Structure 1
């Protein structure tokens, strides 16, 4: 270890993670808003786009978004007003509700995706070197397991 390098102190690492992730999220949010979409809007569209038949039960969607049911209901309401998502009864049991991506929502996602991908590449991926991506994935997977 050289004189300029210091051992990572856990609380310093936490503070750096906290501040950097907040800055990254804020910048990506700002850039998405230039296209008329929030980061949470985009995340809902992404999850529904990737879901079978472009639909997910509201409970599963809330869990994946780390949202309370009322917060998700509000978010889905915003997207419904734009015509990007609709709520419907689950065909399997008729009791639960699910969110479904509309054709308009799929078009919106496809329109937003290239700019968002460029932003993620510029702000995040381009900063990674060597095996950073693999190491970061391993840490994030370990954290995810720890939190479940």
Structure 2
């Protein structure tokens, strides 16, 4: 629990300092950035982030107001919305992403060898699978 908290706190601190946004908002932008066409359905985005609809709605409104993304009708499904990064949103992710990687990679992963990093990834995958299992309430 402490490790999770400290990593998230460090990322949030740096995202606020470097970009003026909460880390949760950066995660929204980063996921859309990696999507085809820098565009993602809001329902898919909510699921990927494990955000409630109201939490995602709040983030989308704030990011729209800052000009980092726009909300548009979905091209693939009626009565759905997509979030699309603006040029400013793309530039924001490109500016912040390397700093985010350094925050995790340098202080944490640098103390692990390649085998330990692989083992950590395997363990994380198993824990995520278990936590997202329908057997867990």
TM-score (norm 2): 0.88
- In structure 1, the gaps of 5 or more residues are 1-17
For residue 9 of structure 2, the aligned residue among 22, 26, 30 is: 26
Residue 140 of structure 1 aligns with which residue?
124
Q: How does 1:62-141 map to 2 (within 5 A)?
A: 62-141=46-125
- In structure 2, the gaps of 5 or more residues are none
SS in 2 for 1:40: helix
SS in 1 for 2:78: coil
**Two-structure CA RMSD over aligned residues (Å):** 1.3
Of 96-105 and 126-135, the range deviating more from structure 2: 126-135
SS in 1 for 2:82: strand
Once residues 63 and 107 of structure 1 are traced to their aligned partners in structure 2, the CA distance between those partners, rounded to angstroms, is: 25
Greater C-alpha radius of gyration: 1
Structure 1 stretches of 4+ moved >3 Å: none
